Amino acid sequence: MQQQSSLLSKYNIPGPRYTSYPTVPYWESDDFTCKQWTRSFQQAFAETTDEEGISLYVHLPYCESLCTFCGCNKRITKNHGVETPYISTVLKEWDLYVARLPKKPVIKEIHLGGGTPTFFSPVSLQWLIIGILSKAHKHPKASFSFEGHPNNTSYEHLKTLRELGFNRVSYGIQDFDPIVQEAIHRHQTFDKVKQVTEWSGQLGYTSINYDLVYGLPFQTSNSIIDTIEKVKELKPDRIAFYSYAHVPWIKGNGQRKFSEADLPKDDEKRALYELGRDMLLDIGLVEIGMDHFATKQDELYESSINGQLHRNFMGYTASSTKLLIGLGVSSISDSWYGFAQNHKDIETYQESVESGFLPVFRGHMLNQEDLIIRQHILDLMCRFSTTLLEAQMPYRSILERLAEPLQDELIELSGDNVHITEKGRAFIRNICMAFDKRLWRKQPETQLFSSTI
């Protein structure tokens, strides 16, 4: 236990979550142009077969109330009159992309994120998806998913989206403890979660995910135990067990209803994770990647076994597509060779699209070193190992930065292979940081990232 505490003290530092490499603060946006992005996604599309298909992420930013743990881009309102103009703009943005492609795309994945996608009515969501699919072909093995708030996901939402081809749903649970729910302003009962879960099963959704969070204000071991005991009763197919990212400096995230004094610290926070992780493993889930668990019947587990697991701005996915187009305010697109992010302000985003421009305001084109490091970090995140090939680039500096993780038995080196040990999985972000050459070259002057533990 003393050794674990020492490791936590050493490695609990601010660090990226590596949903991309380079991470957003290190994008070279000053040299980025929309023309570059257009060429980049056109190249990725040209290299994509119909069998592979492309992915779409659609950001639906509206919420009726503010969850004070949330760091996402959102707009709080009870005015549902915003639905029609927003979806109209998203469909026009999709038209702008389709017009720049030589043929109809084949869509393999769609993910609706937020905000709260189920803020939008079933009719509005139907209009959105039919509008997207009218300009594309649907992949025969398409996998469509959405994020649902248990309090406002109706049977009609689930039925409509299921009929449109959605087969996966993710519910934000966080914690069932009413004291924690009060602090994070996320009130939802076990009965409500049970109801939407049962509806999802009855309608034929093949994968149900719960988002749980550890390190929340006033959270204790008892609340973790109670939450996961309730989860065990409901039997979801996947669990995302996230570390609470305390980033109050980010504008609009709402992390103001509690203070740092209310948060479990370091050893205490890690103990909550270890407790939750052990309980999830005990109920038959398998750890397939950072913070993610799945049953052996779920396609996410199968993809982790056959080496197909992928990670992008949508999280872990069962297969990879070279081109991910992000639609909607603040969405990030990925062509593998480059990233592009839409305007973060809804009005600016809508004005850009209505003027006939792709609503991109920043991005990054990856150089050869970026591409190599990106693959290493992806392999570590998805397979807990990577292979260093000296012919690709010099690795002496990376090996020097891996010396301490090696000494602390967080990794094993075998020839050219770097393998993260069971002990090291808790520190996967730190291990990835050893590969992050952009981070070494320019250490941030202010805190950009949440702590790794």
Residues with Cβ < 8 Å from 332, sequence gap 6 or more? 20, 24, 57, 313, 326, 339, 340, 341, 342
β-partners of residue 240 are: 211, 292
Q: Which two tokens stand for residue 74?
A: 């959102």
Residue type, 65: S
β-partners of residue 286 are: 294
Do 71 and 245 form a contact (C-beta atoms < 8 A)? yes
Do 300 and 320 form a contact (C-beta atoms < 8 A)? no
The predicted-structure confidence for 123-160, as pLDDT tens digits, reads as follows: 999 999 999 999 999 999 999 999 999 999 999 999 99
The predicted-structure confidence for 249-277, as pLDDT tens digits, reads as follows: 455 555 556 778 889 987 888 899 999 99
Q: Divide the 453 residues of the chain into consecutive groups of 10 and give the mean pLDDT of each group.
A: 66 83 93 96 97 97 88 90 98 98 97 95 98 97 95 97 97 95 93 98 97 95 97 96 74 62 86 94 94 94 92 84 96 97 97 98 96 95 91 85 94 94 91 93 69 67
